[in-house]
Structure 1
């Protein structure tokens, strides 16, 4: 049964029109139409095993072997993904002056590919790799190519992609994987993203909160808001008496705080909203 998008689009258009300086917070639901899997289902529960933890990655060579082996198979899904209609619609909303700032919990850079300019990558960006010892940065594609050359037997495995460049693979051969190291100092290389168990840099949070404080309202799109790093903006908006709307398929952690909840397909609703503004 197809959902009638028009009433949802009208509600969203009214909210956007009533709040000219809008901060938008996006999550994985914006990128699912780009072929990137989401972490959670419509009830906000994990669909996959818990992602690698920061402490585990930094302290276990085997954890890094497992991560980079799976990344060798999963990263191309992120690398080759193209913006969804939702990304395009949000870019157009920025161009027409409706979006003051877009804060994304995603690390896929698809908002920027779609043309959005005022973007804060809350959890970093997966297309860059950082040395945790000397802070040297590399393009992820370069590190991916080095890993492929060093581990040709892994690249031939066919598996399903998982969120954020991971892959659905378990094998006893992880301990054979040759992990890439920093060419400058031999240090640990890690994608330039915030792993679970790590903290979003304070300056990133402060920049986003400053924009929110100067905004008329907050709109969340495609996020269950189960992770505190995103939910905190709803808490602050509520404290500052700023209206909050959410466009999401399923529940969100912020449902009790919302002034408007639109439970509808994201790309279709955003696309249908544009002509109404």
Structure 2
């Protein structure tokens, strides 16, 4: 449950943001109220996510990844947008924001009604063939996986991770789906560790920052390079920077206002003040 920070911090943020077109950067912390864990918040487990190089190198790695990704996606698909996602959709609807750059792969901003969303790390709801480039929607792909691996559906006690993966053991019998067009390797359309954010995606995110007059960071510790690069871009423009995050971020000392609190409550308060 969110604990609302001091109202004067929110008032200071609203005063800075009033009348300005705002770009928004979100991270895993905005989705915790939807039941999706974050990477670095209090109590988060230390993880060593699979790299792209591992995924490519071995059938065993692909078995482990696809088994976990299948179960994780089912949990993601069942999650719903929270008040933070709804508040940011309202920001856009009211003309307060020119869009969202998200590091999340859960698709919850779009499901909340936001229209202009740049998912710099991709989206878990689609997969792509590494050979021919064909894209596949996850719902029919999940049906294929369930049909090939009915035993995997027997337990729902697996630990969900923020990137749409789940910890699964004993996957020696797991059958990895292949591309129905060319028989190539399928990969969820997300940026793995060891991969670069697609240039076009970063350019779209940078354009939102360049066209804005203020920036909000919500639910990101800014440890990942894609996020801090966008924040540095905003700071070079010398536009107001408001950070909303439980715990420290890499840009706290450079923010105009840092609010140590939950994104859902703070964004809800901000949209009320800015829309007044």
The alpha-carbon distance between structure 1 residues 114 and 3, as it changes in their structure 2 partners (threshold 3 A), is closer
Cα offset, 1:30, TM superposition: 0.7
Asked if structure 1 preserves the Cα contact closer than 8 Å seen for 2:101 and 2:118, the reply is yes
Q: Distance in 1 between matches of 2:158 and 2:117?
A: 32
Match status 1:212 vs 2:209: yes
Q: Which residue is equivalent to 2:191?
A: 194
Q: Distance in 1 between matches of 2:46 and 2:179?
A: 30
Q: Which residue is equivalent to 2:162?
A: 163
Q: Distance in 1 between matches of 2:33 and 2:91?
A: 19
Cα offset, 1:74, TM superposition: 1.8
Q: Which residue is equivalent to 2:36?
A: 36
Name the stretch that deviates more: 242-251 or 25-34: 242-251
| Within-5 A mapping of 1:26-175 | 26-42=26-42, 47-157=45-155, 158-169=157-168, 171=169, 173-175=170-172
SS across alignment from 1:97 = coil
Q: How many residues align?
A: 272
Cα offset, 1:247, TM superposition: 0.6
Asked if structure 2 preserves the Cα contact closer than 8 Å seen for 1:65 and 1:179, the reply is yes
CA deviations over 1:120-174 (Å, ceiling 9, x no partner): 11111110010010011111111111111111112212323222221133x2x32
Asked if structure 1 preserves the Cα contact closer than 8 Å seen for 2:5 and 2:261, the reply is no
Q: Distance in 1 between matches of 2:178 and 2:264?
A: 39
Asked if structure 2 preserves the Cα contact closer than 8 Å seen for 1:35 and 1:77, the reply is no
Cα offset, 1:5, TM superposition: 4.9
Asked if structure 1 preserves the Cα contact closer than 8 Å seen for 2:5 and 2:259, the reply is no
Name the stretch that deviates more: 68-77 or 115-124: 68-77
Q: Which residue is equivalent to 2:257?
A: 260
CA deviations over 1:233-267 (Å, ceiling 9, x no partner): 11122223222110111111112321211111211
Asked if structure 2 preserves the Cα contact closer than 8 Å seen for 1:78 and 1:164, the reply is no
Structure 1 unaligned spans of 5+? none
Cα offset, 1:6, TM superposition: 2.7
Q: CA RMSD in A?
A: 1.8
Q: Distance in 2 between matches of 1:211 and 1:24?
A: 9
SS across alignment from 2:101 = strand
Asked if structure 2 preserves the Cα contact closer than 8 Å seen for 1:72 and 1:155, the reply is no
SS across alignment from 2:18 = helix
Structure 2 unaligned spans of 5+? none
SS across alignment from 1:195 = coil
Q: Distance in 2 between matches of 1:71 and 1:207?
A: 27
Q: Which residue is equivalent to 2:24?
A: 24
Match status 1:182 vs 2:176: no
SS across alignment from 2:68 = helix
Q: Which residue is equivalent to 1:8?
A: 9
Asked if structure 1 preserves the Cα contact closer than 8 Å seen for 2:4 and 2:265, the reply is no
